[in-house]
Amino acid sequence: MGRTINLERELLKLKNPQKAKILQRFFKTGKGEYGEGDIFLGLTVSQERQAAKKYLDLSLQELQKLFNGKFHEYRMVALFILMEQYKKADEKGKEEIFQFYLKNTKNINNWDLVDLSAPTIIGNYLFNKDRKILYRLARSKSLWERRIAILSTYFFIGKNQFCDALKIAKILLRDNHDLIHKAVGWMLREVGKRNQKIEEKFLKKHYKNMPRTMLRYAIEKFSEEKRQKYLGN
């Protein structure tokens, strides 16, 4: 675990208390908020990426220590490392990383961590496989597992496969959390960028029952006239 300790020390040396306070407000870490209790060092994404590059050989056991760490940046750096390892891994290695990721969903516990990693690892791994795990995650009590479910479909959307994104969007239509409303609306918008007819077919069935935020995100790229038509009804 010596290398992990060295990495943690490097990150601690870069801490910026002023920026940490800003990040803790931005990522809603107060009591009762979605990121309650999360603690930041105040690093930039660039600093996190640079640190990760020096430790790409860490084992999953060593990465687990980072995932269990109290600082948000430890988990972010662990994900940067994990994604790089995933890209270079053989099929067996990819499966190990996929399973490791699923065991750590409780530690992938803010939207930036989910959005960074879910398409690259979960979406990529499931592309040619059974995707039923996404439907279990979509029905989870965990906000972050539900967001992982919909964000993983971003990879499929990029390959012009929309079915799972739309099915999971339907499951999440009545979700009560704003972060899910935004994520679902975002994925619907991404479908529409590639095939607006398919997005609109979904919207015509469901837009009247959608949370307003979800709808606004979904129609963001539409013409003003079309946007107003959806928002006005």
Using one digit for the tens of pLDDT, what is the confidence trace for 138-172?
999 999 999 999 999 999 999 999 999 999 999 99
Same domain assignment for residues 61 and 174: no
Examine residue 96 and state whether it is found in any structural domain, yes or no. Answer: no
Other Cβ atoms less than 10 A from the Cβ of 165: the count is: 26
Confidence tier at 233 by pLDDT (50, 70, 90): low
Q: Could you give the CA distance from residue 18 to residue 13 in angstroms, rounded to a whole number?
A: 14
Q: How far is CA 183 from the centre of its chain?
A: 9
User: Which tokens hold the place of 207?
Assistant: 């837009």
Residue 15, judged by CB atoms within 10 A of its CB (0-12, 13-18, 19+), counts as middle
Total domains present in the chain: 2
Q: Do 73 and 132 sit in the same domain of this protein?
A: no
10 and 74 in a single domain? The answer is yes
Q: Is 165 in the same domain as 130?
A: yes
52 and 154 share a domain?
no
Stated pTM of the model: 0.95
Task: Say if residue 123 is in the same domain as residue 197.
Answer: yes
How far apart, in whole angstroms, are the C-alpha atoms of residue 51 and residue 233? 50
Q: What is the pLDDT of residue 13?
A: 96
d(CA 150, CA 171): 10
Per-position b or e across 22-49, b if 16+ CB within 10 A of its CB:
ebbeebebeeeebbeebebbbbeeebbe
205-230 residues labelled b (16+ CB within 10 A) or e (exposed): ebbeebbeebbbbbbeebeeeeeeeb
* pLDDT, tens only, 92-132: 999 999 999 999 999 999 999 999 999 999 999 999 999 99
Give 2's pLDDT tier (boundaries 50, 70, 90): confident
- End position of a domain, from candidates 54, 88, 122: 88
Q: What is the pLDDT of residues 184-214, one digit of tens each?
A: 999 999 999 999 999 999 999 999 999 999 9
Same domain, yes or no: 45 and 153? no
Q: Which residues span the domain enclosing 130?
A: 104-233
Q: Within 10 A of 157 (CB to CB), how many other CB atoms are there?
A: 23
Distances (CA, A) of 124 to 64, 65, 106: 22, 25, 20
Q: Does 111 reside within a domain?
A: yes
pLDDT of residue 232: 85
The CATH number linked to 200 is 1.25.10.90
Q: Report if residue 71 sits inside a domain.
A: yes
33's tokens: 């908020």
CA–CA dist 63, 78 (Å, integer): 6
CA distances from 160 to 153, 190, 191 (A): 10, 10, 8
Residue 38 pLDDT: 94
